[in-house]
């Protein structure tokens, strides 16, 4: 059986599209403060300000520090108290969830360095 270059190319392109990763989840949360890459002092407490885009499915948010759930807020625009945090690199994320605590979009994260 003989294939033309055109048929092989089409088959190759179709197979490539099948293995592409799924598009990223929509980002609904904006972390206003602190800024990504901020340098924080370990001895101080900070405020993390956030807001969630108005979406009917978003009921509240969960705050994660280094992958561990740290707090919950039933406000879609507000703040969390942070700290004092342990020295080192910290990843702080907010996840919008529905009333069943199921994430409805991707997490929004920042990385900070605590000294």
**CA 34/CA 96 separation, integer angstroms:** 18
pLDDT tens for the chain, 115 residues: list them: 454 444 444 444 334 433 333 234 568 999 999 999 999 999 999 999 999 998 768 899 999 999 999 999 999 999 999 988 999 999 999 999 999 999 998 899 999 999 9
Q: For 41-68, give the DSSP string.
A: -TTS-EEEEEEE---TT--EEEEEETTE
Q: Is the pTM of this model over 0.85?
A: no
pLDDT on residue 56: 66
38 Cβ contact list (under 8 Å, min separation 6): 110, 112, 113
What are the residue ranges spanned by the domains of the chain?
24-114
CATH code at 24-114: 2.60.40.10
pLDDT on residue 24: 43
**CA 97/CA 74 separation, integer angstroms:** 10
């Amino acid at each position: 059986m003989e294939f033309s270059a055109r048929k092989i190319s089409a088959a190759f392109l179709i197979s490539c599209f099948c293995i592409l990763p799924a598009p990223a989840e929509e980002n609904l949360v904006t972390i206003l403060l602190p800024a990504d890459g901020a340098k924080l002092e370990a001895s101080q407490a900070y405020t993390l300000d956030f807001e969630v885009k108005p979406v009917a499915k978003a009921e509240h948010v969960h705050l994660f520090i280094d992958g561990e759930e740290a707090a919950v807020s039933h406000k879609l625009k507000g703040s969390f108290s942070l700290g004092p945090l342990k020295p080192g690199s910290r990843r702080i994320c907010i996840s919008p969830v529905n009333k069943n605590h199921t994430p409805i979009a991707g997490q929004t994260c920042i990385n900070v360095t605590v000294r």
